[in-house]
A and B are shown apart, each in its own frame.
Chain A
């Protein structure tokens, strides 16, 4: 633990002024505006919204600017701001089946109703630096349009195609649809955690952490071989039912990325073999996170599937207690804050122990002419 320190106000103020100056950088270079960040660094914005667990593009852009591009710092700022706002309502469950897709692909079926829609993707780019972006900022050409818009109700690969033949398990729905939904922002997390809590935790979890765990499941630290059944990215409308109105209203659109994985099948003497599912859903456009989340969600269903726990990704408690980067960074980084009193205490203790041992050694040497230190206490 660290204890409060007094003084140092002037140094702290000056440090913050230096920070502000460095954030601004060379004054001969134009200052970056938050709307430029919002528009042109949109994937940073979506990551900050997802892990900050607050969908607000402008705030995320501001947080990125204030945090000098340090996304975890920006996420921390979002989380702190979030605590100042009242919660008006819970939305009705969003309908990802009705998403206005900007991208929709399946790695399991080549030809599928609605088609493979690449959308704005880095896939199939050559990952060569494009120096025109640096040199003269050449304006991009207008993207071409198809004759017809994409289908409004794109069929879902898992539900409408695979499940049509009963080849994949249904998503279980609790008997009581109005049963409370766990919320880790309001109640302490208890283990074993239900899937609702696990999905909430993963969706706001650190992208790097969830990615690494997802990767571990592919490398054999869980046995749940996955295919990407479907990824879709686009917008869905959010509906709430305010009590003063008594009917549902649409309050606007949010961007989401959804990933459904098709995992190794399971059957028994009485049940026909069926594929199993993993689910990933995150704010904004972030496929890496959505796929990783689906892999880890599936791995964490080990108990439910009667699988042997053989890797960290299957250990829900381990995953959930370490996925949050604000918590992690808080604890890891706090050890740099003044621990002078603690450390003084430790110093005193070590000095005293050394003195005691030396005293004993000297004493026994004087008595027996030998040195036999006792086992350390």
Chain B
């Protein structure tokens, strides 16, 4: 596997502001992040319904491994290794040669495989755009619903003055 130079040389120094990437990469980052958060069942169902005629092969069989999660002391300072998380990765090739990749949290090989397949389809012709859009909307709605429940627990503490009034 060849290492391509980063389109924008990015380092940890861009700590709180990510370097803007080109729009194609930004779009791909978006759909990969949506796919990484979608269950295997959902991906599998969508694939068999709309893309089952695709011919494809594994470029890299789904593989389970780990990512060491890094953090910063105090949130902004020196980097440290917090602990690992399980991750599954996969790469597929469509019949026209388009290669799709996935890295998803957890150990679901099938989820990783479908995430890579949808990545490839999106790269080739964007033919899963509607699906990705639906998923993104659902994920945003779920996040908002949770954030509203959390907001209902916002309090105001009163400090009581003791003694003289």
Of A139-147, A317-325, A329-337, A366-374, the one contacting chain B is: A139-147
Q: A110-B159, A177-B11 are in contact. Are A93 and B33 (CB under 8 A)?
A: no
Q: A119-B153, A195-B80, A243-B3 are in contact. Are A159 and B75 (CB under 8 A)?
A: yes
Interface string of A82-96 (1 = CB under 8 A from B): 100111111111111
Q: Are B25 and A254 in contact (CB under 8 A)?
A: no
Does any Cβ of B come within 8 Å of A216's Cβ? Answer: no
Q: Are B37 and A56 in contact (CB under 8 A)?
A: no
* Complex Cα gap A173–B150 (Å): 33
Contacts of B15 in A (CB 8 A): 93
Contacts of A93 in B (CB 8 A): 12, 15, 70-72, 79
Interface size on A, residues (CB 8 A): 89
Q: Nearest chain A CB to B61's CB is how many angstroms away?
A: 13
* Complex Cα gap A53–B74 (Å): 20
Contact of B148 among A58, A149, A281 (CB under 8 A): A149
- Closest partner residue, chain A, to B72 (CB atom): A93
* Complex Cα gap A150–B82 (Å): 27
Interface size on B, residues (CB 8 A): 71
* Complex Cα gap A245–B68 (Å): 18
Does any Cβ of B come within 8 Å of A260's Cβ? Answer: yes
Contacts of A158 in B (CB 8 A): 74
Interface string of A281-306 (1 = CB under 8 A from B): 10100000000000001000000000
Q: Nearest chain A CB to B69's CB is how many angstroms away?
A: 5
- Closest partner residue, chain A, to B77 (CB atom): A171
Contact of A53 among B5, B73, B83 (CB under 8 A): B83
Contacts of B69 in A (CB 8 A): 55, 91, 94, 238, 254
Q: Are B33 and A55 in contact (CB under 8 A)?
A: no
Does any Cβ of A come within 8 Å of B162's Cβ? Answer: no
Which chain B residues (131-164) contact chain A, with CB distance < 8 Å? Answer: 143-157, 159
Q: A181-B81, A200-B82, A243-B3 are in contact. Are A115 and B154 (CB under 8 A)?
A: yes
Contact of B70 among A92, A102, A184 (CB under 8 A): A92
Q: A110-B159, A238-B67, A283-B83 are in contact. Are A249 and B32 (CB under 8 A)?
A: yes
Q: Are B71 and A171 in contact (CB under 8 A)?
A: no
Contacts of A47 in B (CB 8 A): none
Contact of B86 among A56, A174, A181, A245 (CB under 8 A): A56
Q: A55-B69, A159-B76 are in contact. Are A252 and B148 (CB under 8 A)?
A: no
Contact of A117 among B37, B80, B154 (CB under 8 A): B154
* Complex Cα gap A364–B33 (Å): 88
Does any Cβ of A come within 8 Å of B104's Cβ? Answer: yes
Interface string of A28-61 (1 = CB under 8 A from B): 0000000000000000000001100111101100
Does any Cβ of B come within 8 Å of A339's Cβ? Answer: no
Contacts of B83 in A (CB 8 A): 49-50, 53-55, 200, 203-204, 283
Q: Are B71 and A281 in contact (CB under 8 A)?
A: yes
Does any Cβ of B come within 8 Å of A309's Cβ? Answer: no
Does any Cβ of A come within 8 Å of B94's Cβ? Answer: no
Contacts of A194 in B (CB 8 A): 78
Contacts of B89 in A (CB 8 A): 88, 242
* Complex Cα gap A54–B87 (Å): 11
Contact of A145 among B29, B106, B143, B149 (CB under 8 A): B149
Does any Cβ of A come within 8 Å of B58's Cβ? Answer: no
Does any Cβ of A come within 8 Å of B110's Cβ? Answer: no
Contact of B32 among A196, A238, A250, A281 (CB under 8 A): A250
Does any Cβ of B come within 8 Å of A128's Cβ? Answer: no
Q: Are B66 and A149 in contact (CB under 8 A)?
A: no
* Complex Cα gap A85–B25 (Å): 30
Q: Are A117 and B101 in contact (CB under 8 A)?
A: no
Q: Are B84 and A53 in contact (CB under 8 A)?
A: yes
Contacts of A246 in B (CB 8 A): 3-7
Q: Are B148 and A177 in contact (CB under 8 A)?
A: no
20 interchain pairs, CB-CB under 8 A? A54-B84, A58-B107, A82-B66, A86-B65, A88-B103, A97-B75, A103-B153, A115-B154, A117-B153, A117-B155, A146-B151, A150-B151, A170-B77, A240-B67, A242-B101, A244-B4, A247-B8, A250-B29, A250-B36, A283-B83
Further 5 A-B residue pairs, CB within 8 A, beyond A185-B84, A195-B80, A252-B106: A95-B16, A103-B150, A118-B155, A250-B36, A260-B75
Residues of B within 8 A of A (CB): 1-8, 10-13, 15-16, 18, 21, 25, 29, 32-33, 36-37, 63-87, 89, 91, 101, 103-107, 143-157, 159
